[in-house]
Amino acid sequence: MELLDATAVLTALPQMATDFGEPALRMNLVVSLYLLAAAVFVPASGWAADRYGPRRVFLTAIALFTCASLACALSSSLLQLSLARLAQGAGGAMMVPVGQVILLRWASRDNLLRAMAFLTAPALLGPVIGPPLGGVLVTYAAWQWIFLINLPIGVLGLWLVWRYIPDYPPGEAGPFDARGLLLSAASLACLVFAFEALGHGLLEALPIVGLVVAGALFAWLYVVHARRCERPLLDLTLLRIPTFSIAIWGGNVFRLGSGALPFLLVLLFQLGFGLSPLEAGLLTFAGGAGALAIKFVAAPIVQRFGFRQTLVGNACLCGLSIIGCAVFRADTPYLVIVGVLFFGGVARSLQMSTLGALTYADVPAALSSRASSLAAMTMQLSLSLSVGVAATVLGVVQRWRGESVATVESIVVVVVFSGVVCGASVVVFRRLRSGVGL
């Protein structure tokens, strides 16, 4: 629900601008404020789960997201919609990491990889299904339905969690790290908004540089604070666990390359090939189908080859599958495009499932909530950065080629660049010892 909403709303921004009588550029607030709220509340999710119990926080987050969705649909002005999106972002920020905490406490070590395989499915399906779903709803209904569709999902989710999720007792939360929240939230807000502005051309270069510098400064101040704090909000000592550290840093490099692919495919199919949003969305759905197909065999593959061999070999396949998209042309048969995207979805899904299991393979159960908060924060930051980096490289290529608008040739260069970055994660994964995590 959360990942579908985050991507489907992009297709509705022009219609929202018309209905509210606002300039189209201002509608990016709908996206930016959501990301801002998510960045602020993600670090607090682990502490909240320990303090109040993961099921209670999970139910609260789903209820908040669902009610905020209704408020979004009922909004009659940009101000009302912006406030509702802030509430949505807060609910979304708590749902994903707290859901991971519940899974980590419920799943046995033997079933962790299989459980993580299904947990990572929405992360791959959301960016794929969101745009075509948004296009259908906007074309044949109204933009309000992008938010109203969350209501039955949210109500069903609340009932399922209440009925089937055990009411785990709260953990040892300790005192709330208010200073850590302010510093981490300020750092994440500056960096996420800077990368979002960079990817969508919201600001000039100087303000973006200023935001990045401010974000880095707040991050440094947080590191200094965390070393002195007995129970910091984001526990950086978890990076001393070798498997957790390699999964975090290797995953960041992997997502830096692969996270921009949906953005690049939209540019390639719509701007380059002249396809409609619905046609482009239906093509990219092949990647989602591949992501689901591998879920049933991900665990046996890792058990057969181990974490190290799976991550190293599959990182190369992921990079090659992205580079393979560079061969697409307007006259490329749809069957070829679907085949390449399906294979890429399989490879990326296997990689994310394996990374999800490796991240928590050696994390003690008592630290699962802290590990989930830190992992969720780095994931959101790397995904935001991926689109910003891709947009920046595209701008550089356009200036070098003397183009005023993006062409197929310039987009292809960025696709190849993203594939190389994705494959470069091999350097990090090679640091894993054979047999580790099994």
Tell me 10's DSSP state: G
Q: What confidence score (pLDDT) does residue 408 get?
A: 85
**Burial (CB count within 10 angstroms: exposed 0-12, middle 13-18, buried 19+), residue 381:** buried
Q: Look at residue 372 and tell me whether its pLDDT is greater than 90.
A: no
Dihedral (CA of 434, 424, 2, 130) sign: negative
Asked if residue 12 and residue 59 are part of one domain, the reply reads yes
- pLDDT band of residue 294 (cuts 50, 70, 90) is confident
Shared-domain flag, residues 132 and 185: no
pLDDT of 400 reads: 86
Examine the domain organization and report whether 403 and 258 are in the same domain: yes
As a whole number, mean pLDDT of residues 203-211 equals 84
pLDDT band at 311 (very low <50, low <70, confident <90, very high): very high
Q: Count the residues in the chain.
A: 438
Are 239 and 228 within one domain?
no
User: Of 158, 153, 171, nearest to 366 (Cα)?
Assistant: 171
How far apart CA 265 and CA 281 sit, in angstroms, is: 9
> 225 and 239 share a domain?
no
Q: How far is CA 366 from the centre of its chain?
A: 25
For the entire predicted model, the pTM comes to: 0.78
| pLDDT score of 265 more than 70 | yes
Domain final residue, candidates 124, 142, 172? 172
CB contact at 8 A, 315 and 254: yes
Q: Domain of 24: which CATH number?
A: 1.20.1250.20
What local confidence, expressed as pLDDT, does residue 26 receive?
A: 67
Q: Kindly state the average pLDDT of the residues 377-388.
A: 77
Please indicate, yes or no, whether residues 328 and 292 belong to a single structural domain of this protein. Answer: yes
The mean pLDDT value for 310-335 works out to: 91
Same-domain check for residues 223 and 238? no
Co-location of 184 and 226 in the same domain:
yes
pLDDT of residue 413: 92
Q: How far apart are CA 126 and CA 415, in angstroms?
A: 20
Tens digits of residue pLDDT in 338-348: 899 999 988 98
Q: Give yes or no: residues 209 and 275 share one domain.
A: no
Full residue range of the structural domain in which residue 203 is found: 177-232
pLDDT for 151 equals 93
Tokens of 429: 């994964």
HEC string of 70-131 equals HHHHHCCCHHHHHHHHHHHHHHHHHHHHHHHHHHHHHCCHHHHHHHHHHHCHHHHHHHHHHH
* 223 and 292 fall within a common domain: no
Cβ atoms 67, 27 nearer than 8 A: no
Same domain assignment for residues 166 and 219: no
Boundary of a domain, candidates 145, 172, 199:
172
Across 46-50, average pLDDT: 82
Sign of CA dihedral 289, 293, 295, 298: negative
Q: Tell me how many domains the chain contains.
A: 3
Do 382 and 268 share a structural domain?
Answer: yes
Asked which of 154, 172, 190 is the last residue of a domain, the reply is 172
Q: What's the pLDDT score for residue 365?
A: 74
Average pLDDT over residues 26-49: 76
